[in-house]
Structure 1
Amino acid sequence: MSSAYARIAFTPTVRAEQARHGSDRIYSRVLSGPEDAGSLLTAREASFLEARDGVFQATVGETGWPYVQFRGGRAGFIRVIDSGTVAYADYRGNRQYISTGNLRRDDRVSILAIDFARRKRLKLLGRAEISEDPDVIAYLNGPGRPEAERAVIVHVEAFDWNCPQHIPVRLTDAERGNEIRHLKDRIAELEQQLFALA
């Protein structure tokens, strides 16, 4: 775990749990590392994030309850602007605006990006700002995509690569060589042949 992430996540209560279960000595070494370790994204994190077609985003509401939402688009919908900033075009969903409302009050956000095919997971902690600037939205949205309502810009405070131990292997159709699309095409072709015989 990176020291920047641990400094945010390891509250006194968390440290007490670590002591109770015997992992406090291991994580003391993490906390004694350089304070900025794990606060600036490298090319590794950038390529991983930009290859994702979705991430899980957690915000906190006014009542203190966490709210987790899936944010997605075509691969590349999330962009690394620089070593401390990621951003994405936020597309219209069911119009509940829970994440947006939460972020307008409390800008803290946690993002979990997972590559199920390769069993890799990257966690980000940051502070988000919402932009409705048409130029920013257009830059993040890209051509040929649905119209985005807003942009979310996350100023990364810490990141950490997480253990792959319990990540199940799941493949998208594209990762399986478009097997489903090929089967659908074949079914359509056979249906046309049957229709021609009738």
Structure 2
Amino acid sequence: MPHGFAEIAFTPTVKRIQEDMGSRAAYARMEDVPVPVNVRLEDAEADFIQARDSMYMATVGETGWPYIQHRGGPRGFIRVLDEATLGFADFRGNRQYVSVGNLQTNDRVSIFFMDYPNRRRLKLFGRARVIGSEQAEILARLEVPDYRARVERGILISVSGFDWNCPQHITERFSAADAAV
């Protein structure tokens, strides 16, 4: 697995389209590396992830349809537990449980971590599992002190691959906290 993200994302059909559109040679170089890359989080990825106050997570349900959900909390609610594992407390929300339900039958996730003010994006593929009170020690590592939301469960994600993305079409946006600085 030379490039974690490319190995997953660049299917034979995607490669054919890249070839047709003239970008295949550049992406082939990305895949042709002697040691695996973008499968273990380094300091740059860990710092970026832990500075986020939200993310977008996609799961796939039993019908085959993808579902994208925004997950938010205070900065740092997403924890990098080690170079291959992320986790976050799953706060009580609208109680539809679509992502949690999808993860019962398909553990694959795709996550976008966005930094709108600096026009940066980290894309990540992984496999997720839901944990509950039976894993109290890990769940305690995911809790966010002084945040009023109720934690219903934790979600752990084993990183399969990731890639930083071009800022070309990321529109700058600023949260109230960003604007106050």
Q: TM-score, normalised by structure 1?
A: 0.86
Percent of residue pairs bearing the same amino acid type: 48
Q: Deviations over 1:61-81 (max 9, x none)?
A: 111110000011100000000
Cα RMSD after superposing both structures: 1.3
1:166 aligned residue (153, 160, 169):
169
2:89 pairs with 1:86: no
Q: Deviations over 1:90-110 (max 9, x none)?
A: 111111111001111100001
- Counting matched residue pairs gives 177
Aligned to 2:73: 73
- Structure 1 position 35, deviation (Å): 5.0
Q: One-letter code of the match for 1:174?
A: A
Equivalent position SS for 1:40: coil
Aligned to 1:195: none
- Structure 1 position 59, deviation (Å): 0.4
Q: Deviations over 1:44-88 (max 9, x none)?
A: 111100010000000011111100000111000000001101100
Q: TM-score, normalised by structure 2?
A: 0.94
| Alpha-carbon distance change, 35 to 99 in structure 1, aligned in 2, over 3 angstroms | farther
State the distance in 2 between where 1:19 and 1:139 align. Answer: 45
Equivalent position SS for 1:176: helix
2:137 pairs with 1:135: yes
Mapped contact 1:137–1:148 kept (Cα < 8 A): no
State the distance in 2 between where 1:168 and 1:6 align. Answer: 25
State the distance in 2 between where 1:94 and 1:131 align. Answer: 19
State the distance in 1 between where 2:144 and 2:122 align. Answer: 24
State the distance in 2 between where 1:59 and 1:162 align. Answer: 20
Aligned to 1:156: 159
Structure 1 segment 19-38 matched on structure 2, within 5 A? 19-34=19-34, 36-38=36-38
Give ranges in structure 1 of 5+ residues lacking alignment.
Answer: 179-198
State the distance in 2 between where 1:35 and 1:131 align. Answer: 33
State the distance in 1 between where 2:7 and 2:142 align. Answer: 31
Give ranges in structure 2 of 5+ residues lacking alignment.
Answer: none
State the distance in 2 between where 1:86 and 1:47 align. Answer: 12
Higher relative contact order (CA 8 A, sep 6+): 2
Aligned to 2:57: 57
State the distance in 2 between where 1:14 and 1:125 align. Answer: 17
Mapped contact 1:89–1:151 kept (Cα < 8 A): yes
Aligned to 1:47: 47
Q: Deviations over 1:116-171 (max 9, x none)?
A: 01111001100001100333223211221222101000000111000011111111
Higher Cα Rg, which structure: 1
Aligned to 1:12: 12
